[in-house]
Structure 1
Amino acid sequence: MKIASKDNPVRLSWLREQGLRMDAAPYLSGAFEGRKLLERLPLHKDRLGELTAGHDGGIFNGPKFSRVYVTNPDHAVPFLGSTDMMEADFTHLPLLSRSKVAAKFPYLEIEPGMTLISCSGTIGRMAYVRKDMAGIWSSQHVMKVQPDPGRIPSGYLNTFLRSRFGVPIVASQAYGAIIQHIEPHHISGLPVPRFDSALEEQIHDLVEEAATLRTESQEGVVGATEDLFKTAGLEDLLDLRWHDQPRDVGFAQRGLKPTTLRALNYQPKVQRILKRLRDETEYVTLGEICKGGQLGSGVRFKRVDAEPGHGAVCLIGQRQGFWIRPEGRWISPTQAPPGIFAEDETVMIPSQGTLGENEVFCRAIFVTGSWLDYAYTQHFLRVVSGTSDIPGAYLFAFLRSEAMFRVLRSMSTGGKQQDIHEGLRAQIPVPVLTAPDRERIAETIRAAYRKRDEADKKEDRALELLEGAVLEHSAG
C-alpha cells in the first residue's frame, strides 16, 4: 500500500486546488509535492507552452485516422505507437501507406529533438527523438513536444520532463475511467525552471551525446547482421519481402517424421531459406553450438514482490526486453532460483506468444553489460553458446535477422499461446564463417552494446545534474 510521506503530508490546500477531488492518485503520485517544490524555487520559471514552437504551438498529438497498413517499404512510412516509442530497435515497425498519411497529416512525422509522451493508456512514458528516427510517423496516442531552439535546449527540456519533477506532474493530469488520457492543454502550463545557460547546455549536450550513441549502437547491430549475411553469400536474405512472395497453400510434404505433423512447420518459404543455409554455407546446427551452454526456457518460479533499493531486482518480461529502459516488476532474488539471471552474451528470444505480425514472439535480444543485473522471466528462450569459437554476440547477429525470425515463427507449436518446437529449433543451421569474420562480427555487436550502456550513463548524469540543481536551490 502506498501512503503519503510524513515529511510532506497531503494538505487541505491541495484538496481545494483540485476541487476537493478525493481519490488518492494525484496526491500520492508525487505530482503535488513536485509542483509545490517548483513553486518555492527562487528561480525564473517558464510555462511549457511558452518554450515550444511548431504545429499547434509545438505541443500536439493528432486526430484519429484510418490506418492503411502495407508491406512494401517503397510506398510506406514506419509507424510508431505509444509502446513502440520505448523500443531500442525500430527496424521492425509496422508500415503505413505513405499516400494516406504524408499529405494529410505531415505534422505527425517526428523530428529530432522532440520529446514524445504517451498520452493514452499508460500516461507519461517518454522518449527523445534521435536523428535515426527521422521519417517515422506517430499515432494519436503519442504527444509531441517540439522545443523552440531559441528559447530552450531540447535536451534540457527532455531531461526536465522525464525527471521526478516532470513525470508525476504530467501523469497527474490524466483523465478518464478505463483508459486514461491527457491532452496538450493539460500540460502547456507545466512550470519549467530555468537555470544559467551553461548548466542547461551541459545537460543538453549529455542528452545529445546519448542520442548519438544510441544511433551508432543501432547502426552497429544492423551492420553486424548485414556483414554476416553478405560474407556468407546470402545478401538477398536481408530483404526477404516476405509478404510479396506467393502464399504457402496447397503444398505437399513427403518424408514426414514423428517430430511434427503441423503444416506450418513445413512452410515452403522457410524450407527454401533453410535449404540455402545448408547447401550454400558451412554450418553447425544451433543444438550442437549450445551443447555445454543452454537452449531452453528459463525456470518457473513464484514472484515475491520487493521494494527497489532493498535488495530487489527488476524482472524483465518479453515486451519490456526490447525497450531502451525496461520497466519491469521488482522482486526479491533471494526468494527465487538462481536461473532468473542470464549469462553474459545470452541471446534471449520471446518463445511464448501469438503469431501477430507486430508481436515480439521469436524476435531476439542480447544480454550483456548493465542488462546482466536484471532478472528474466521463463518465457524467454535462452540461447547460450557452449563454445568460445562461436560467441553469443555472433549468434545474436544471425538470430536477430528477418530470415531467422521467419524460420523461428515456422517452428511454432501449441494452441493459443505458441512455443518454439524444441526439436526443430535445435536443427537450425548456423553459418560458420572464418574465425576472423566471426570475431569481427561479434566485436561489432559488443561495441554497439557498450555504446548503449554509455548512453544510459549520460542520460542518468543529465538527470543527476538537473535534480541536484533543483534540490540545491530549494534548500537555499
Structure 2
Amino acid sequence: MIIKEIPSRWIQREGLRLDVGPYKTGAIEAKYKLESLTVTKNPVVNVTKDGIKGIIHAGRLKRVWVNEPDHGYPFLTTTNIHISSLEKIRYIANSIVAGKQNLLVKRDWILITRSGTIGRLAYCRPDMDDFACTEDVMRVVADESKIDSGYLYAFLSSTYGVQQIIAGTYGAIIQHIEPEHVKGIPVPRFATEKESIIGKKIKLAAQKRADSSLLMKKAGGIINDKFSFPHKLALSHRMFTHSSASSRLVQKRMDSTYHDDIAQKSDSLIEQTGTRETLGQLGVKALERNRMKQLFAEQEYGVPFYTSGEIFRADVTPERYLLKKALKDSLDWQTLEQDILIARSGQVGGIIGTGVWADSRFNNTCVSPHVLRLRCENSEVDPGYLYAFLCCTDVGYRQLIRGAAGSSVPFLSVTDILSIKLPRLPTEKELEIGEMVREAGKLAAQAQYIEKEAIKMVEVAIEAAAPKH
C-alpha cells in the first residue's frame, strides 16, 4: 500500500479531482514546479502558433495485412515504436493508407502511446520515416522554426514531461489519453543555444539507432549474397503446403513443421554451402537459466533483470533488479557482452527465435529463463558472424524457429539450436562481418547514452530555474 499526504488546496485547484493517480505519481507536484519556473513557458498546443504544428490522433483504421512490401507500408504498433530492429514488423495494405496520410509518421515527429500502457514516448528515427502507425499512438509535430523537436521530445521524456502526460489518464480497465490532455502542458523555454544542444543530441541518438539497424541489415545481406541465400525465404512464418521427408529424418522429430517445405529449403541451402559442422561441434555454448522464484530488490541489492520482451527495446534500461542473494555464487545467470540472446518461447511468428546482440548495456545483467544465451568464448566462431547468420538472415531464422515444440506456448530446445550447421566464410570475411555487428552494438549503446544525457540536461535546467525555498 502506498500512503501519501497532500495539501487540500491541491485537490481544490484540480477541480476536486479525487482519483489518486496524479497525486501518487507526483504529476501534480511536477505541474506546480513547472508553473513556478522563472523562465518562459508555452503550453504545447498554443505553441501551434508558437512552435507546434499539431497533435495528431490518426483515428481508427481497419487492419488488412499483406506479405509483400510492394503492396503495403511497414506498420508500427505501440510496442515496436520502441524496439531496436524494425526488420520483422508487419505490413498494412496500401489501400488502407490511401487517402489517410495521418496514418504515416515522419522523421523527427514525437510519438506518444495513448492507450493501454500510456505515456511511453519515442522519437521518430530516420528509418521510421513514412511508416504507417497505429491509432493508439499520438503524433506531436513541432514547428522547427519555433521550437526544436529534439528539445521538445527531451522535455516530454523527462520526469516533468512524462508526469504531465500521464496525469490526463482516464479509463478504469483500458486507460487512454487524448490530444486535449497533452495540449495544455507548459513547456519551459531556455536559451536558444541550450535548446539547440539538447535537440541535436536527441537527433544524433535517433541517427545512431538508424545506423545501427542498417549495419545489422548489411551484415546479414553480405552473408546472403556470399551464399546466394534469398533475402526472404518465406512470406510468412509458416507456409501451409505439403511436403515429404525421409523416414530417417522423422525418427527423432515427427512434428510436421520441423520437416515442412520451408525447413527443408533452409536445410538444402545450407548443405549447398558445403558446411558440415554444427554449432555444438564448433564449441558454441548454449546457456539456459533454471527456473527459480524471482525475488526483486532495490537497485543497490540487485542485478539488472530483463524479460524476453524487454531485451528488444531500443532503450535497454532495467525496470527491475533481481535480488543478488537469490542468485547465490553461481554465474549461470550472468549475461556477458557479445553473448547472443535468443527468445526461446512464445508464438511462432512472434518473438520466438528472434535474437539480440548483447552490447555493453547487457554486460553482467540477468535475463529471463525464456531467453537463451549463445556464447562463443573459446569456440572457433566469431560471435558477431554467428549473430549475423542466425539473426540477420532469413535462412538462419528459419533454422531456429523450425525447432519450436509445444502446442500452447512453443519453445526452443538447446539440443536443436546446437545442432544447427553454420555456413563458413574465410576467416577475414567472418571477422569483417563480426566487426560490423560489434560496431552496430556500440552505436545502439551510444544512442541510449546520448538520449539520456539530453533528458538529464532538461531536468537539471528545470531544477536550476525553480525558485529555491
Distance 1:340 1:442 in 2: 25
1:370 aligns with 2:355: no
1:277–1:283 CA contact under 8 A, matched in 2: no
Aligned to 1:305: 296
* Distance change >3 Å, CA 297–CA 52, structure 1 → 2: farther
Distance 1:137 1:247 in 2: 28
For 2:68, which of 72, 87, 99 is the aligned residue? 72
Aligned to 1:151: 146
Aligned to 1:136: 131
For 1:190, which of 161, 172, 185 is the aligned residue? 185
CA deviation profile, 1:360-383 (whole Å, cap 9, x unmatched): 111111112122143201111211
1:155–1:203 CA contact under 8 A, matched in 2: yes
For 1:439, which of 431, 436, 439 is the aligned residue? 431
How high is the sequence identity, in percent, across the aligned residues?
A: 27
Aligned to 1:409: 401
CA deviation profile, 1:11-40 (whole Å, cap 9, x unmatched): 112212333333321101121111111011
Distance 2:234 2:460 in 1: 50
CA deviation profile, 1:109-139 (whole Å, cap 9, x unmatched): 1111111001000011110011111121100
Output the TM-score relative to the length of structure 2.
Answer: 0.94
1:87–1:323 CA contact under 8 A, matched in 2: yes
Deviation at 1:154, TM superposition (A): 0.6
SS at 1:315 equivalent: strand
Distance 1:270 1:162 in 2: 44
1:267 aligns with 2:263: no
Aligned to 1:278: 271
1:333 aligns with 2:333: no
1:45 aligns with 2:41: yes
Aligned to 1:204: 199
For 1:117, which of 93, 112, 119 is the aligned residue? 112
For 2:345, which of 336, 343, 352 is the aligned residue? 352
The aligned amino acid for 1:446 is R
Output the TM-score relative to the length of structure 1.
Answer: 0.92
Distance 1:471 1:84 in 2: 33
The aligned amino acid for 1:125 is R
Deviation at 1:243, TM superposition (A): 4.2
Aligned-residue Cα RMSD (Å) equals 2.1
Which moved further from structure 2: 167-176 or 424-433?
424-433
SS at 1:67 equivalent: coil
Counterparts in 2 of 1:22-41, with a 5 A limit? 22-41=18-37
Aligned to 2:215: 220
Aligned to 1:172: 167
Which moved further from structure 2: 322-331 or 413-422?
322-331
Deviation at 1:322, TM superposition (A): 0.6
Distance 1:61 1:294 in 2: 48
Deviation at 1:188, TM superposition (A): 0.2
The aligned amino acid for 1:393 is G
1:317–1:328 CA contact under 8 A, matched in 2: no
1:381 aligns with 2:372: yes
For 1:454, which of 443, 446, 454 is the aligned residue? 446
1:323 aligns with 2:313: yes
Distance 2:268 2:378 in 1: 25
The aligned amino acid for 1:141 is D
**Which 4+ runs in 1 deviate beyond 3 A?**
1-4, 243-247, 250-253, 386-389
Distance 1:316 1:53 in 2: 43
2:61–2:96 CA contact under 8 A, matched in 1: no
Distance 1:88 1:422 in 2: 26
Distance 1:283 1:436 in 2: 20
Structure 2 unaligned spans of 5+: none
Deviation at 1:404, TM superposition (A): 2.1
SS at 2:257 equivalent: helix
Deviation at 1:69, TM superposition (A): 0.3
Distance 2:245 2:441 in 1: 44
Distance 1:413 1:41 in 2: 58
Distance 2:303 2:168 in 1: 30
2:41–2:188 CA contact under 8 A, matched in 1: yes
Distance 2:439 2:423 in 1: 22
SS at 2:10 equivalent: helix
1:397 aligns with 2:397: no
Deviation at 1:475, TM superposition (A): 4.3
1:298–1:382 CA contact under 8 A, matched in 2: no
